[in-house]
Structure 1
């Protein structure tokens, strides 16, 4: 790599160590803590504004990553990262960047809207690049299964951006459960105040001009061709099924990860959901199939695992819906973190945590003074903030050499559970004309969807299977 070689030559000259055939400077010569240019991970960012900007900053802060390539379809969103890494080459089309620069890139960070995660990550993995992908890992169940398999096939180091999986909190929950403090867990309840963007609304009818800094066609990527609308970028795309995955996609990976790790969950066997409705006039329900509903409650069933005595029922609630407060929690004590939380219900007690599995607590809270379980699990240096450096160091070490908190082998099944809940939510909100021609009805809202995991199919309501694997826009493929 030309830039890499130049920086190495400059360093050797400045250190006075240049000699014939001296290509790599040994660590003992550089001194403790110094990372030679040849030992740095060369990172390319796809989607470098917002969360992508902070992801790149965290990789850079590890001291072991060189941010060498930037790619974003929107110059407005990219400007801060461009200013922060003035030597990095900038592209608008990730396909062009990978085609021209793949020989110089070690790893790729993907922080784009959900609908483009899979094609971008897969393109990088097929070139042998390690990948970090923001949550949720993918938009569709089929994509999650495909990326999980690809990570193993191409032997690349992977990490999903649910940094709570590196936190101390989830490890504390595992230690309490493994020590038998709350007995056998049979029920999980999860809730969030999301969405905090518009949902349950019609697609805008205005057709404003596309901003000159934005390549709208590239932003659409795999999604159907539509005219540009205002206020979709940077965050409101989450509430539209073509691009986002709603509240589940935003916070599900942060809140469901702890139950997956604590109980050893993998794939669900069935799912059902109910959704909040929007009424456009007295007694008339609004039908907005392109938009996620304003609130939902999904229930997933997981089979018995090696860590449980029977199946586990997981409840997901969003849009401000919360489960009943546990009787062990005082009337003025915080439930979760006020906005979000996860509650484990066991045969001998309960435990809960906040978003990212932070602030784990036993219930009643007085048990926190009574229970002392020794630490058995190694903590990630930096806790949740160490999630980024963990991936960088894993990439430098190579596939299979270091343990990561959210590699695709773990993030894939977690993502599938989130997307299965979304599948049920979409079905519950899907209108069908009544046979008598009098209005609409919603048969999916009263149905438990049975899941054939091996074949990735709903077996008792075929219309739901259209959401397992969507059809990409012509010119895009996985």
Structure 2
């Protein structure tokens, strides 16, 4: 474990300790050449990527394939995971600590990509925005509701181009669904179902007690970042962290931004009004249930209510289902036809009809599916070149153009409220494990089987205060969000 103490990550400290010498510059960022909004002759966006293994690898490739991004800096706490990206971009300077990268190289960077575990998204992204860097953050935008609200406001305050990594927001599918809805093909919608076969990692399990040696290539202290200190456990890295509340946001965080983005965009939804949930339980034997509050549940069904919008006649209810749970098959769908994409999907129920799609809103269809070819509506929404694969190039182009000059599909002003909704669903799930001691000494769980009422302005649940502890978590000592 590294013994290095975290440095203050404020903008003041970055500027004070940042490198100022021009000697040795391999790449000159655009603003150095001519100020904000200036497009360099090379027309290249200088990108620093934090978290370059796994999904980070494909993110970097996506930016590079745009032809207008220079992958200049790579940063990862795990040399094993970084290896592929380091080999692919041998000229990029490599760091383990993103704070050192920002301190030393902030004057050489135009934009930052963040693809770390969820619990460190906000602190890295916010620090980059304070330095006036454009930011791309993988989904979900943040780990906590409070963090999502802060990043949403910061994007506007610092006037930087932002994009969340839910590629389906740039796909043709969601635009086709929206054109059908806007044309009145399925009428008014008040109910939407979204479902996934995730998790495909362990959930609903106790924290392992066996201690494991930290791999020499991994800086465990840096990986933990804002999370409470715990001893390293086997197989947590690089993927199984998703099932633990200290680091991940479960199946909702992994797939919710891909599946709930479409109803958000189509119905113009924003913040949640109320939420309730039921969760799958684990049995230790035929008579005994086990609850592991550190771990996300193996399955859940969450019901979220959104206030009426200009696109709807009343409130909208979204049902989220994970762990392989699916809604009842619509009667208009043939017995051998695939529901959604098989494991995942979305279903809009309207007063005049229904429509469905798979992950990323791919393969949009009207029901019965024969209507898909029979119904023709004008194309009113411009497509993103390359569809969902063009999500990366779209952000690169918008960064080059400058803040407010080009549209992006998932700016934080949209991604923030979407992420908050997902985290509200998780708030309800976590409420199931809140305990109280009764007068007779027995334990009760008051958060189960209740509806949480959300005060959006004050960012708190009004009828069950114990769950508000999860709206804004306490960071580990030495870490803080912003100045």
Alignment match of 2:156 (pick from 142, 152, 158): 152
- 2:74 matched residue in structure 1: 70
Provide the rounded CA distance (Å) in 1 between the counterparts of 2:246 and 2:26.
Answer: 44
Provide the rounded CA distance (Å) in 2 between the counterparts of 1:278 and 1:431.
Answer: 18
Mapping 1:428-467, distance limit 5 Å: 428-438=432-442, 440-467=443-470
Q: Does residue 1:253 correspond to 2:257, yes or no? A: yes
Provide the rounded CA distance (Å) in 2 between the counterparts of 1:3 and 1:337.
Answer: 54
Shift of 1:236: 0.4
1:4-46 residue CA offsets vs partner (Å, 9 max, x unmatched): 96579xxxxxxxxxxxxxx99xxxxxxxxxx976420000000
Provide the rounded CA distance (Å) in 2 between the counterparts of 1:352 and 1:432.
Answer: 42
- 2:240 matched residue in structure 1: 236
1:55-77 residue CA offsets vs partner (Å, 9 max, x unmatched): 00110010000000011000000
Q: Does residue 1:324 correspond to 2:319, yes or no? A: no
Q: Does residue 1:197 correspond to 2:201, yes or no? A: yes
Shift of 1:283: 1.7
1:155-188 residue CA offsets vs partner (Å, 9 max, x unmatched): 0000000000000000000000000000000100
Provide the rounded CA distance (Å) in 2 between the counterparts of 1:4 and 1:308.
Answer: 57
Uncovered stretches (5+) of structure 1, i.e. residues with no partner: 9-22, 25-34
Q: Does residue 1:175 correspond to 2:179, yes or no? A: yes
- 1:110 matched residue in structure 2: 114
- 1:221 matched residue in structure 2: 225
- 1:123 matched residue in structure 2: 127
Mapping 1:51-450, distance limit 5 Å: 51-438=55-442, 440-450=443-453
Provide the rounded CA distance (Å) in 2 between the counterparts of 1:187 and 1:261.
Answer: 15
Q: TM-score, normalised by structure 2?
A: 0.92
Superposed CA RMSD in Å reads 1.6
Provide the rounded CA distance (Å) in 2 between the counterparts of 1:3 and 1:174.
Answer: 52
Query: Match of 2:366, SS?
Result: strand
- 2:44 matched residue in structure 1: 40
Shift of 1:2: 5.5
Q: Does residue 1:475 correspond to 2:471, yes or no? A: no
Provide the rounded CA distance (Å) in 1 between the counterparts of 2:330 and 2:433.
Answer: 30
Provide the rounded CA distance (Å) in 2 between the counterparts of 1:166 and 1:3.
Answer: 40
Provide the rounded CA distance (Å) in 1 between the counterparts of 2:25 and 2:41.
Answer: 8
Mapping 1:14-53, distance limit 5 Å: 38-53=42-57
Provide the rounded CA distance (Å) in 1 between the counterparts of 2:373 and 2:67.
Answer: 39
Shift of 1:441: 3.3
CA 6–133 in structure 1, closer or farther in 2 if over 3 Å, else same:
closer
CA 367–437 in structure 1, closer or farther in 2 if over 3 Å, else same:
same
CA contact (8 A) 1:287 1:431 kept: no
Provide the rounded CA distance (Å) in 1 between the counterparts of 2:417 and 2:354.
Answer: 25
Q: TM-score, normalised by structure 1?
A: 0.92
Provide the rounded CA distance (Å) in 1 between the counterparts of 2:271 and 2:432.
Answer: 21
Provide the rounded CA distance (Å) in 1 between the counterparts of 2:248 and 2:27.
Answer: 40
Uncovered stretches (5+) of structure 2, i.e. residues with no partner: 1-20
- 2:9 matched residue in structure 1: none
CA contact (8 A) 1:275 1:429 kept: no
1:114-151 residue CA offsets vs partner (Å, 9 max, x unmatched): 00000000000000000000000000000000000000
1:272-314 residue CA offsets vs partner (Å, 9 max, x unmatched): 0110001112221112100000000110000100000000011
CA contact (8 A) 2:251 2:322 kept: yes
CA contact (8 A) 1:48 1:77 kept: yes
The structure whose Rg is larger is: 1
CA contact (8 A) 2:307 2:316 kept: yes
Provide the rounded CA distance (Å) in 1 between the counterparts of 2:24 and 2:426.
Answer: 44
Query: Match of 2:72, SS?
Result: strand
1:316-362 residue CA offsets vs partner (Å, 9 max, x unmatched): 00001111111111111110001000000010010001000110000
Shift of 1:49: 0.4
Shift of 1:431: 4.0
CA contact (8 A) 2:185 2:353 kept: yes
Provide the rounded CA distance (Å) in 2 between the counterparts of 1:335 and 1:415.
Answer: 25
Provide the rounded CA distance (Å) in 1 between the counterparts of 2:437 and 2:192.
Answer: 36
Query: Match of 1:175, SS?
Result: helix
- 1:11 matched residue in structure 2: none
Shift of 1:429: 3.6
Count of residues paired in the alignment: 453
CA contact (8 A) 2:133 2:160 kept: yes
Provide the rounded CA distance (Å) in 1 between the counterparts of 2:61 and 2:364.
Answer: 28
Shift of 1:368: 1.3
